[in-house]
A = this chain, B = another copy of it.
Amino acid sequence: MTTLKELAALLNISVSTVSKALNDSHEISEKTRIRVKELATKLNYKPNRIAQQLKTNKSKTIGVILPTVTNPFFAEVLHGIERTATDNDYDIIVCLSNENYTKEKKSLELLSNGSVDGFIIAVARESQVKKQTEHIDAILKSKIPVLMFDRVVNEINCDKVVVDDFQSVYEATEYLIKKENRKNILLVSNIEELSVGKLRIKGYSKAVQAHDLKPEILKLDNAIDVDIEKRIYNYLKNNKIDAILSIDHITGIVAINMAKKLGKDIPKDLSVVGFGYEHTQLLSSPKISIIHQKAHKIGEMSMKLLVDSIKEEDHELKTIIVPSELKLSESSK
């Protein structure tokens, strides 16, 4: 890599002159500026980013800690984060906690040494379930801004971007009751121990009770593939259900497949609503209705808010709610 020093030596001028010339300083004569720039281009000179970072004490990098990226929700959020970061001249360092508290903690610690100017984090399942969050507090204490999205910790005071989990499920439930006239709505959950899962279940319960119906909830508690199918199949076989509301992005499609296996007519006998993303509806037949979380937007808003908080002198903490959209399957319209 070419350095200022090398350019200076080749041109027989000082390092500072070269630096100023490249930065279009008024102090420098037209002639030398051109001379310097020509050589710089020729030798493909690029200012060493590390040196600049040391000088300015800014990394222009954000640490992004995600539980996983194989879940399409987080993948899409990451997409939004990356795009917005690029637009704001930031890089992102991505760490995956794998839903694991220890890994999450380690990642935060490793990066809180000047490597990043701030963090975007969706808390790992384990951290959330065990309520272990001092590692995040520690970061905040060291004055590095943190933004939490989706999986948030209420007790921690920082910027947040969340989905309207309660509201969207409440409305979806009400839709099933009022528009599709369903009475026996089963909620299927594989994420009941997460903050978002709890909120979604609350939204459902509240809506059901508001219409004097009784809640029915099938908690799969993190079951593995084959069990998911079996348990949903058995439940549908043994219970009179006319609608299914899945609060994750998998079990809704599985429920459709199991219902078909049982000879149910969708959407006549059974309405199915789930959470979904880019390809969810394409992968189901008949089409599932989905609560579409604006994952890309969540990523975008998160990065924007964090960048603002870094720039602003006296930033006041915000919580932004990104509304979801109920996308009906064509058949149910």
Contact = CB atoms under 8 A, between A and B. Distances in A.
Given A54-B54, A82-B94, 18 more contacts: A46-B112, A49-B115, A50-B115, A68-B79, A69-B78, A70-B277, A75-B75, A78-B94, A82-B96, A86-B107, A225-B279, A250-B279, A250-B282, A254-B285, A257-B285, A258-B285, A260-B260, A261-B285
A23 to B, nearest CB: 15
Chain A, interface size category, equals 35 or more
A242 interface: no
Given A79-B96, A86-B95, A50 B59 contact: yes
A46 B111 CA distance: 10
Nearest to A254: B282
B114 A1 contact: yes
A49 B114 contact: yes
Contacts of A94: 78, 82, 92-94
A146 to B, nearest CB: 16
A253 interface: yes
A51 B56 CA distance: 12
A267 interface: no
Interface of A: 1, 44, 46-51, 53-54, 59, 61, 68-70, 72, 75-76, 78-79, 82-83, 86, 91-96, 98, 103, 107, 110-115, 142, 225, 228-229, 250, 253-254, 257-258, 260-261, 277-279, 281-285
Contacts of A228: 282
A78 B82 CA distance: 14
Contacts of A253: 283
A142 B261 CA distance: 59
Nearest to A103: B86
Nearest to A53: B50
Contact of A111 (B54, B91, B282): B91
